[in-house]
């Protein structure tokens, strides 16, 4: 079975561009204008192959659990939530949170920032009780603003993304970060034709990081893993989940690597895991430290087979001091073994090989309230509210889509907001 490569159909000011899939599997963008992205044919393994392909021991149990059939989630449209506005990332902490009322112990005055930070000064949150999330514990919280409307109003019960607890979002303006061995901003032109950003072990890497940030700017490192495809087509994941588009605005370093075979860790002669560990070491050595960025944590995402592999890889004890979140996309319905210590976001299409992850009681164990369901475009979002600082749990059910349909830009942006809001 051959499917058209995922492409990005962009929502423009003068209309909405839709991704249309024909009966023969071809797909096109429909609308008044279309942002031009290179197309390339991508072959996904037939679903039956999932039942017979040889799996590594680490993935075997997980894969079996995902062949149970269609999602039990309702495919109907959920009513849009009216409990809050869209999550806003407007403004940096340095710009909008330069003061506030110090806490002298006990509870802060109602409406001036919620519960004060333990052991320090609380200047975060919003003047409207309950809409600013929880301030960081320890030290001084500078996320958001004490003045209504100056730091963005997060979705009710969600996570505040109004800056970080330490330092301005843009870093030191007098010490711009320049990495001589890797150009900022990601590939120039099509990812399919542009030269690789860097190579490790003779394998190409696509690397995207901000161009206009200074030393000390807080960053999230996102490792984006492909699913089952021929080696020369692994870069489809770059357009399937276009998180790289938010590297500049959301302070992200996005790295897209490639397995030595079609599937991560399956028939690779043990080469893939050491390669990924080398990539991670390189990222921290190159981008983190004095005179560079401040990497606050790492997320591991993956699609299809990559989702199953990412769900195991993210929980490796060797990475416990780095990984703070995982995003399995369309291929992993089972909760991660380390979900109690990291954030978990999950997605699945209406016509997919399995459901979104059942988050169970894990969100509650990290202080989250009841889940709130709302609709974002043609996607049903379930978001657990008011989690402890540094945690976010959410699922996205993509209506009218199949296993290879790329994630809508509006959802990618939402996930970028949540990742930034949960930065530690």
Mean pLDDT for 335-364 is: 96
- Quote the CA–CA distance of 81 and 76 in Å, as a whole number: 15
Would you say residue 115 has pLDDT above 90?
no
Highest-pLDDT range among 13-22, 99-108, 356-365 = 356-365
Question: Does residue 103 lie within any of the structural domains?
Answer: no
* Residues ≥6 apart with Cβ < 8 Å to 50: 63, 66, 67, 353
Residue 295 lies in a domain: yes
Pair 343, 194 in one domain: yes
Q: Are 252 and 390 in the same domain?
A: yes
Is residue 416 in a domain? yes
**Share above pLDDT 90 across residues of the chain, in percent, rounded to a whole number:** 58
Same domain? 188 vs 324: yes
Three-state SS for the chain is: CEEECCCCCCCECCECCEEEECCCCCEEEECCCCCCCCCCEEECCCCCHHHHCCCCHHHHHHHHCCCCCCCCCCCCCCCCCCCCCCCCCCCCHHHHCCCCCCCCCCCCCCCCCCCCCCCCCECCECCCCCCCCCCCCCCCECCECCCCCCCCCCCCCCCCCCCCCCCCCCCEEEEECCCCCCCCCCCCCCCCCCCCCEEECCEEEEEECCCCCEECCEEEEEEEECCCCCHHHCCHHHHHCCHHHHCCCCCEEEEECCCCCCCCCCCCCCCHHHHHHHHHHHHHHHHECCCCEEEEEEEEEEECHHHHHHHHHCCCHHHCCCEEEEEEECCCCCCCCCCCCCEEEEEEEEECCCCCCCCCCHHHHCCCCCEEEEEECCEEEEEECCCCCCCCEEEEEEEEEECCCCCCHHHHHHHHHHHHHCCC
Mean pLDDT of 245-274: 98
Q: Give the model's pLDDT for residue 167.
A: 55
Q: Name, of 53-57, 60-64, 382-386, the range with top average pLDDT.
A: 382-386
Mean pLDDT of 72-81: 36
If asked whether residues 186 and 41 sit together in one domain, one would say no
Residue 219 forms part of a structural domain: yes
Q: Within a domain: residue 353?
A: yes
User: pLDDT tens digits for 30-42?
Assistant: 333 333 344 343 4
Q: Residue 136's pLDDT band (boundaries 50, 70, 90)?
A: very low
Averaged pLDDT of the chain:
74
Residue 223 domain-assigned? Answer: yes
Averaged pLDDT, 42-61: 38
- pLDDT of the residue at 376: 97
Report pLDDT for 300.
98
**Same domain, yes or no: 228 and 370:** yes
Predicted pLDDT at 129: 39
Domain end: 11, 29, 46, which one?
Answer: 46
Average pLDDT over residues 323-341: 94
Q: What confidence tier does 332 reach under pLDDT thresholds 50, 70, 90?
A: confident
CATH number of the domain enclosing 210: 3.40.50.1820
pLDDT of residue 233: 96
> 27-30 and 41-43: which strand pairing?
unpaired
Q: How confident is the model at residue 168 (pLDDT cuts 50, 70, 90)?
A: confident
Do residues 41 and 176 share a domain?
no
Q: How far apart are the first and last CA of the chain?
A: 42
pLDDT tens readout for residues 4-17: 444 444 343 444 44
Would you say residue 402 lies in a domain?
yes
Structural domains of the chain, count: 2
pLDDT digits (tens, 9 = 90+) for 183-222: 999 999 899 999 999 999 999 999 999 999 999 999 999 9
Domain extent at residue 374? 172-421
Domain membership flag for residue 102: no
Q: How far apart are CA 96 and CA 89, in angstroms?
A: 12
């Amino acid at each position: 079975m051959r499917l058209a490569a995922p492409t990005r159909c962009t929502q423009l000011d003068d209309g909405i561009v839709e991704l249309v899939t024909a009966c023969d599997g071809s797909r096109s963008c429909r609308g008044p204008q279309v942002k031009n992205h290179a197309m390339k044919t991508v072959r996904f393994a037939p679903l039956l192959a999932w039942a017979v392909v040889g799996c590594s021991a680490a993935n075997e149990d997980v894969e079996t659990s995902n062949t149970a059939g269609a999602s039990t989630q309702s495919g109907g449209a959920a009513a849009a939530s009216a409990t809050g506005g869209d999550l806003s990332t407007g403004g940096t902490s340095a710009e909008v949170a330069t003061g506030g009322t110090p806490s002298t112990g006990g509870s802060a005055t109602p409406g001036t920032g919620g519960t004060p930070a333990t052991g320090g000064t609380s200047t975060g949150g919003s003047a409207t009780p309950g809409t600013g999330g929880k301030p960081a514990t320890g030290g001084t919280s500078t996320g958001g603003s004490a003045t209504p409307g100056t730091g963005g109003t997060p979705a009710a019960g969600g996570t505040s993304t109004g800056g970080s607890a330490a330092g301005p979002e843009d870093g030191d303006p007098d010490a711009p970060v320049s990495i001589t061995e890797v150009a900022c901003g990601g590939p120039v032109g099509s990812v399919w034709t542009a030269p690789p950003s860097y190579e490790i072990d003779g394998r190409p890497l696509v690397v995207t990081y901000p161009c206009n940030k200074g030393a000390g700017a807080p960053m999230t490192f996102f490792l984006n893993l492909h699913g089952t495809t021929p080696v020369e087509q692994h870069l489809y994941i770059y357009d399937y989940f276009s998180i790289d588009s938010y590297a500049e605005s959301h302070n992200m370093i996005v790295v897209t690597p490639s397995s030595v075979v079609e599937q991560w860790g399956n028939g690779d002669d043990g080469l893939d895991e050491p390669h990924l560990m080398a990539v991670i070491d390189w990222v921290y050595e190159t981008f983190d430290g004095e005179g560079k960025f401040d990497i606050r944590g790492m997320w591991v995402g993956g699609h299809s087979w990559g989702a199953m592999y990412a769900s195991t890889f993210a929980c490796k004890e060797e990475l416990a001091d780095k990984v703070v979140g995982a995003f399995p996309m369309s291929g992993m319905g089972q909760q991660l073994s380390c979900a109690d210590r990291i954030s978990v976001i999950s997605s699945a299409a209406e016509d997919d090989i399995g459901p979104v992850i059942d988050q169970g009681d894990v969100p509650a164990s990290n202080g989250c309230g009841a889940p709130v369901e709302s609709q974002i475009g043609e996607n049903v979002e379930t978001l657990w509210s008011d989690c402890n600082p540094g945690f976010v749990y959410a699922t996205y059910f993509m209506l009218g889509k199949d296993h290879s349909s790329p994630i809508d830009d509006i959802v990618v942006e939402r996930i970028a907001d949540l990742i930034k809001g949960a930065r530690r």
